[in-house]
Every structure is written in C-alpha cells, then in structure tokens.
Amino acid sequence: MDLLRLAVSGGGEGAGKSDVFFRLPGLGLEVTSIVTTTWAIMAIVLVLCWLGTRNLGRVPRTRGQALLELAVDGLRAFFAPIVGEENARRFLPLLGSLFIFILLANYSGLLPGAGHIRGLKAPTSNWGVTAGLAAVVFFSVQYSGIRKRGLRYFKHMVDPWYLSPLLLPLGVIEEFVRPFALSLRLVANIFGGEIVVLALLMAIPWFLPIVPLALELIFGGIQAFIFTFLTAIYLSTAVAEEH
C-alpha cells in the first residue's frame, strides 16, 4: 500500500505541491509537469516537422524526404483498407498526429526521473489528457459522419422508428462511451506500467530492470497503435454509406 500511495502521489511527502512547475504571472494559473511535458512533446514534433519539410521537392533529393514520404505512404496504405483510399488521405493528418503524440507521450514516462521530478511526467498517465484525446476523437467522428452523410448519419439511432425511444438514448451513450473507453484503457495501461517499473526500481535499485523497460517500450507502441487503429474504425463507420 505504501508503494501504491507513493506511485499515486508522485513520490514522497508534498509531492502534490511539487507537481506544479510554475504559475503564470498575473493569471495565477498553475502549470503542472503534465502540461510542460506536453508542451515539450509538441515542440519536438513541430521542430522535426519543420526540419523534415523545409526543403521538399517534387522528386526526393535527400534521404530525409525519402524516408518521410515512405512513412506517409506506408501509413496511408495501412489505413486505406479500413477507411478507404480517399478517406485515408483526408484522415491521415488526424490519425498520424494522434499516433505520434500518444507514442511520444507514452515513452516520455520512461525517461529518467519521469513522474518524480518537476516538469517531467508522462501526459498519458493522466486521465485529463487521455479524456481530451477522446473528446477530439468523438467530435471528429461526429463531424465526419454529418459532413459525409448529413442527418442520415443518425439513422442507426432511430431505426426501426418504433423502437427509437429506446434506441436513441442507447445510441447517444454508445457514441460517447467508445472513445472514452479508449482513454481509460490508455491511462490505465500507462499508469500501471509506471507503477510496475517503480516497484522493480525500489526492489532492485542497483540493477536496471531491462525486461520491464523493454516491455514498456513495446506496450507503449501497442497502446498508441490500438488507440489510432480504433479511431480509424470509428471514422470508417461514420462515413460508411450503409450505417
């Protein structure tokens, strides 16, 4: 129980206060380690995108552009059977952004001192962040479905019409539950993995727990993949002609 309490609190007495990295002057808003790590991930992604796209040409002249085009084409080819070729091009920015952010957020929890020093904590170990990602998925699915099919998108909630008083509330609940179930799965796996690594570090502090860290690398990638893959399925269902 002491270990679990330590893991939940972020370590030691007063850890709840130490999680606040700084306060915005004049506004009094607290900036936590989750926020600073999220900002750092976004900055890294922006810099890498700028470096990778600043000298693009119609024909790849650099190895970096060739690798970038290979990655984009590979992702589009992967999502095409799920959402269709045309939709794969349209949804790729959203799906790619979700995958990259979640992957980097998961791996940030494996950095030395993550969760125990101010300013560094895995964003996906906090349900507020994963719930925000779920909200993005929810509104993206609804927007895509309405844009593609109009009000016919909601037909599945009231068909057959004589059961609509029962089906409509269930349909609305289902639309909310699907993405938020993803957020709970993601935060539970990342937070649980952090507790396991912390327990092993406390049990064998003189030896690096290679196996748990390797498993966390694998699980972090799998969780990012599952979240993105299921998002693609939800989008595919929303834009399908027969809903």
Chain Cα centroid distance, residue 142: 19
Surface-to-core class of residue 85, CB atoms within 10 Å of its CB (0-12 exposed, 13-18 middle, 19+ buried): exposed
Our count of domains for the chain comes to 1
* Predicted pLDDT at 7: 38
Q: Tokens at residue 171, please?
A: 């349909």
Contact 241, 196 (CB under 8 A): no
Distance CA 34, CA 79 (A): 30
Cα 99 to Cα 182: distance, rounded to the nearest angstrom? 13
The helix/strand/coil state of 23 is strand
- In whole angstroms, give the CA distance from residue 201 to residue 28: 36
Q: 6: how many CB neighbours lie within 10 A of its CB?
A: 17
**What does the alpha-carbon distance between residue 39 and residue 197 come to, in Å, rounded to a whole number?**
25
- The pTM is what? 0.77
What is the extent of the structural domain holding 70?
2-239
Mind listing the pLDDT tens digit of every residue in the chain (243 residues)? 333 333 334 433 333 445 776 777 776 677 888 888 999 999 998 988 888 777 777 777 777 777 888 888 888 888 888 888 888 888 999 999 999 999 999 888 878 777 777 778 889 888 888 888 989 998 998 888 888 878 777 776 666 656 666 667 777 777 777 778 878 878 877 777 667 666 666 666 555 567 677 777 888 888 889 899 989 988 888 887 654
For 146-176, letters b (16+ CB in 10 Å) and e give eebbeeebbeebeeeeeeeeebeeebeeebe
